[in-house]
Amino acid sequence: MLTAQFLYGGAGLALFVLGLWSFLVHEPLLRKIIALNITGAGVFHVLIAIAYRGDAAPPDPVPHALVLTGIVVAVSATALALMLGARLQDAEDEDRSR
Amino acid sequence: MSADPGAARRRDLSLLLAVLLALLGVALTIIYFMALQAGAAPRLADLAYARLPGTGVQNPVTAVLLNYRAYDTLMELAVLLAALLGIWSLGPAAPGFQRSGAVLAGMVSWIVPLLIVTGGYLLWVGGYAPGGAFQAGALLGAAGVIVRLAGDPRAGLPAEAAQRWLLVLGVLVFTLVGLGLMVFGAGFLTYPPKLAKWLILAIEMAATVAIAVALAAAYVGGRPPGPEARPTAADEDAEPQPPASSPRPPVPGR
């Protein structure tokens, strides 16, 4: 099933490039955070596709574990980035109202 | 179209970026296709499967996470803790949402126990099938998010002092197991095969709690509100104050 593996990984590469484009082009911080998450999702896609070793063999557990670790790190980094963004917004609003 | 030269320049720049990134995508796809065509190089999977009987677990992913690459997972729990400390350092949490109506409260009282049971199942099943601390922690964290959305400002978590202990539990148990193994002559986090299963289970239980609390606390988004913020039975008996913006008459929690 080389085709399925290629399509899955290729979709991951497409997500990676789209996320990168959105991150570079769009100004609002929230859009940048979402774009980075899409980029990360693309990387996870590629790792999962790489783990496939044919129908006969079980998948490679090492990339699977890396993805599992990566998801948790991505979620926590996103939460921190969102909070920083919210505080930044608060500070800007305060400055404007002054 | 605007005559603003800055806007035109920005548009040109984003077009250029799009072209460059499209080329990057094509290049990556070609490399990926060629790598697939080249066939399987020797990889870690064979080694991981060959050593599986000595790891104390039958699920190779759990073996990688908690045995072969245990350092990685320990550091990951530390990253989660650091992210939450960053969030807490930014100030107190927003006050939260109004108490849920009867329908949502009824759904929450069904789904949260279900999530807790499923989390416990996933934690146990991770020893021999897909599952483990991260999946269980994510489910429990989701339960916390639901509880917060239904109106509990602390997402069902205990007071701040207890939360701190639960948060460090993962890193603490992980490190203590590692140091204990060093004391008994094995390397840091080098489990003896006979004890491996129980040590991994202990670490995973602590990690599940820590991950769940960290995710729910991250969703709360700041230092947890004090005990006075938690709705009590007295609050529910008291006449609820209708929020100014909502035309809906407030409904008691249950």
What number is the ipTM of this complex? Answer: 0.86
Tell me what the pLDDT averaged over chain B comes to. 84
Sequence-ordered alpha helix ranges (H) in B38-159? 44-50, 60-63, 70-89, 102-125, 133-149
Concatenating the DSSP letter of every residue in B187-223 gives PTT---HHHHHHHHHHHHHHHHHHHHHHHHHHHHTSB
Interface of A with B in 15-74 (CB under 8 A): 16-17, 20-21, 24-25, 46, 51, 53-54, 57-62, 64-65, 68-69, 71-73
Q: Indicate if the pLDDT at residue B247 is higher than 50.
A: no
Q: Indicate if the pLDDT at residue B225 is higher than 50.
A: yes
Q: Are B252 and B150 in contact (CB under 8 A)?
A: no
- CA B146 to CA B112: how far, in whole Å? 8
How far is B78 from chain A, CA to nearest CA, in Å? 10
Predicted local confidence at residue B145, as pLDDT: 92
Predicted local confidence at residue B190, as pLDDT: 85
Whether A13 sits inside 8 A of B29 (CB atoms) is: yes
Partners of B223 in the beta sheet?
A: B92
Predicted local confidence at residue B230, as pLDDT: 53
Residue of A nearest to B223 (CA): A83
- CA B132 to CA B11: how far, in whole Å? 47
Please state the domain extents for chain A. Answer: 2-97
Across residues B31-50, what is the average pLDDT? 83
Residue B144: other Cβ atoms inside 10 A: 25
Percent of chain A whose pLDDT exceeds 70:
99
Determine which of A62-76, B91-105, B135-149 has the lowest per-residue pLDDT on average: B91-105
How far is B101 from chain A, CA to nearest CA, in Å? 28
- Under CATH, which number does the domain A2-97 receive? 1.10.287
Predicted local confidence at residue A1, as pLDDT: 58
Estimate the crossing angle of helix B193-220 against helix B70-89, to 10 degrees: 20
From residue A36, how far is each of A39, A77, B29, B178 by CA, in Å? 5, 11, 20, 35
> Bigger pLDDT: B239 or B156?
B156
Length of chain B counted residue by residue: 254
Q: What is the pLDDT of residues B172-186, one digit of tens each?
A: 999 999 999 999 888
Percent of chain B whose pLDDT exceeds 70:
87
Interface test with B, best of A1, A31, A47, A76 (most B CBs within 10 A): A76
Q: Indicate if the pLDDT at residue B250 is higher than 50.
A: no
Q: Indicate if the pLDDT at residue A89 is higher than 80.
A: yes
Whether A17 sits inside 8 A of B32 (CB atoms) is: no
Predicted local confidence at residue A48, as pLDDT: 93
Residue of B nearest to A20 (CA): B21
- Comparing C-alpha atoms, which of B53, B48, B56 is closest to residue B177? B56
Predicted local confidence at residue B226, as pLDDT: 67
How far is B234 from chain A, CA to nearest CA, in Å? 33
Predicted local confidence at residue B227, as pLDDT: 58
- CA B12 to CA B19: how far, in whole Å? 11
Across residues B28-35, what is the average pLDDT? 90
- CA B138 to CA B70: how far, in whole Å? 19
In B, what residues contact A, Cβ < 8 A?
A: 14, 17-18, 21-22, 24-25, 28-29, 32-33, 36, 40, 43-45, 48-49, 60-61, 63-65, 69, 72-73, 76, 79-80, 83-84, 86-87, 90-91, 132, 134, 138, 211, 214-215, 218-219, 221-222
The pTM is what?
Answer: 0.82
Count how many Cα atoms sit within 13 Å of the Cα of residue B168 in the half-sphere of its side chain.
9
Predicted local confidence at residue A81, as pLDDT: 94
Across residues A21-32, what is the average pLDDT? 91
What is the token pair recorded at A37? 């998450």
Percent of chain A whose pLDDT exceeds 90:
58
Q: B137 burial class (0-12, 13-18, 19+ CB within 10 angstroms)? A: buried
- CA B218 to CA A69: how far, in whole Å? 17
What is the token pair recorded at B223? 């230092």
- Comparing C-alpha atoms, which of A56, A37, A33 is closest to residue A45? A37
Q: Are A84 and A68 in contact (CB under 8 A)?
A: no
Determine which of A1-10, A76-85, B1-10, B81-90 has the lowest per-residue pLDDT on average: B1-10
